Amino acid sequence: MAASEQAAAEIAAQLGYPVALKISSPDLLHKTEAGGVVLGVQNEQEARSAYRAILQRVQAYAPGIKTDGVLVTPMARDGVEVILGGRRDEVFGPVIMVGSGGIYTELTRDVTIRVLPLVDGEIARGLRIYPLLTGARGRHESDVNALVASIERVSRFLVEHPEVVELEINPLRVFRKGDGVWALDAVLKISGQ
């Protein structure tokens, strides 16, 4: 987490380029819409510039918003973006959600919600993007096993932690078969907060 453009440049150099910079704020759910994300930063000058630009755009988008700093991370490889989350329903208890992820989640409306416990792997197979995960149209096969394992871990987490009201990982990037998954952004809400 960088609290200055100097820190952003130092962290980026330690991680190795390219990197991504992303605003960290408990009050900002959609960072991209606020201009709070810069991808593919290639050098120190770009890291410093991205840090300044993110803070300026976020403040213009939501004046006075509380920020924790700017997160600097390695760039993730290409993959299929999935949304994975869950919440505590008043009637059904913990429910899990999986769907097309990334910035187009709301547009694609490719989301499945299930009451826990799950039948192994069923929720992923019900998605319209599932053929992309299994290698449709000449794409490489994605690590569906790692996606299913992530769904199962999030499901267990929701069951074991009743204080969690809502959890969303978006996007969860699913890499090539055998390469796993990587959570690129997440939000966690605890009861009483």
Cα–Cα distance between 66 and 60 in angstroms, integer?
13
Cα 114 to Cα 129: distance, rounded to the nearest angstrom: 17
| pLDDT (tens digit per residue) in 82-99 | 999 999 998 998 999 999
Q: Which domains does the chain have, with CATH numbers?
A: 5-74 (3.30.1490.20), 80-190 (3.30.470.20)
Task: Provide DSSP, 14-34.
Answer: HH-SSEEEEEE-TT-S-TTTT
The phi-psi region of residue 12 (left if phi > 0; otherwise alpha if psi is between -120 and 50; otherwise beta) is alpha
Q: Is the pLDDT of residue 107 over 80?
A: no
Contact 73, 88 (CB under 8 A): no
Mean pLDDT of the 23-37 span: 90
The count of other CB atoms within 10 Å of the CB of residue 85 is 23
State percent of the chain over pLDDT 70.
Answer: 97
* Average pLDDT estimate for 120-135: 81
Confidence label for 126 from pLDDT (cuts 50, 70 and 90): confident
CA distance to 64, 110, 126, 138, per residue, from 27 (Å): 11, 26, 32, 40
- Bridge partners (DSSP) of residue 22 are 37, 71
Determine whether 40 is exposed, middle or buried from the number of CB atoms within 10 Å of its CB (0-12, 13-18, 19+).
Answer: exposed
3 state SS of 175: coil
Is beta strand 69-74 parallel, antiparallel or unpaired with respect to 37-41? unpaired
**pLDDT confidence bin for 53, thresholds 50/70/90:** very high
Residue 128 in 3-state DSSP?
coil
- CA pair distance 35, 190, nearest whole angstrom: 26
Confidence at residue 128, expressed as pLDDT on a 0 to 100 scale = 85
